[in-house]
Structure 1
């Protein structure tokens, strides 16, 4: 199974198009979205080509391929226009015999952990900062932001395949990777 994982589109039609192009080129089985799809939020500047209605249309076209969690910028009104579930605070995946706790990052994060056992993975966006870390018995991963990266990061997404998580820029160039198979 191959997954593309992304977060924080924030209504940018420009970066959503780039992400969906990468998703198609990666030939992934599913697109995992970690929230903040349509609204830019009061703390962020407007992203390039801010056009939430265009983002809605693009995402709805591949609704059967999307798994999504709610970000801190999602609201019930977003669920009225998006044709796939967007209001769950988390989802649990089992990959390579490990639990992957996927969430946006505003409720559960490194300072407020969900229940994890040794080797489990906490996967979230929200900070707009890429991360692939082994932390005190678990893994912490963040694909960064599709549209509004922070801390000098590039616009990015993540690919999961065969126990390897790889962060890439929106041109498909590898930034970093981590394998969870060694354990």
Structure 2
């Protein structure tokens, strides 16, 4: 099973369209949104092409493929526009290999504040806007970066998981970082 991860859209219609094109081209079974989908948030500038209602419409077209968690910029008002649940702070996903993914935004749980994990589990989060795919003791940590506001000189990006390999990919196809889990 191939999974596609995106985080920190922050209501940018252009970034959402680009992300959805990459999702469709990837052949992934599920689109996993790691929060901050519609609102730009008070610490970020208003992005060019900011259009939360249009972003909601675009995402709603994929409602049956989306697994989403709430980011620190997401609210109940955002949920009113979306036709898939996104207000949970975290979700567990069990892979065919038996490995578990802990999906969260990253403002509550992250590499510095881990949830209860078993050896081999993967914590998957956004929030920092910095791509990451590496081991963390007996666990793994994965961050697909940001589609809209990448930080530390990184390009806008998304994440893929296939055959127990996690990788962060820029929208021009460059693998930024990858790791086996």
User: Scaled by the length of structure 1, what TM-score is found?
Assistant: 0.95
The equivalent of 1:145 in structure 2 is 146
1:11-30 matches, within 5 Å, as 11-30=11-30
Give ranges in structure 2 of 5+ residues lacking alignment: none
The equivalent of 1:53 in structure 2 is 53
| Cα-to-partner distance string for 1:43-74 (whole Å, 9 max, x where unaligned) | 01122211111101100111111110000011
Give the Cα separation in 2 of the matches to 1:3 and 1:172: 16
Give the Cα separation in 1 of the matches to 2:92 and 2:13: 28
The equivalent of 2:127 in structure 1 is 126
In structure 2, the residue corresponding to 1:25 is in which secondary structure?
A: helix
Quick check: 1:63 aligned with 2:89? no
Quick check: 1:75 aligned with 2:95? no
Shift in Å, 1:175: 1.7
The equivalent of 1:35 in structure 2 is 35
Give the Cα separation in 1 of the matches to 2:3 and 2:129: 19
Give the Cα separation in 2 of the matches to 1:65 and 1:135: 29
Conserved 8 A contact 1:37-1:74: yes
Conserved 8 A contact 1:35-1:125: yes
Shift in Å, 1:172: 2.6
Shift in Å, 1:174: 1.8
Conserved 8 A contact 1:22-1:172: no
Q: Which runs of 4+ in 1 moved over 4 A?
A: none
CA RMSD of aligned residues (A): 0.9
In structure 2, the residue corresponding to 1:64 is in which secondary structure?
A: coil
Conserved 8 A contact 1:15-1:48: no
User: Scaled by the length of structure 2, what TM-score is found?
Assistant: 0.97
Aligned pairs, number: 180
The farther-off stretch of 40-49 and 6-15 is 40-49
In structure 2, the residue corresponding to 1:23 is in which secondary structure?
A: helix
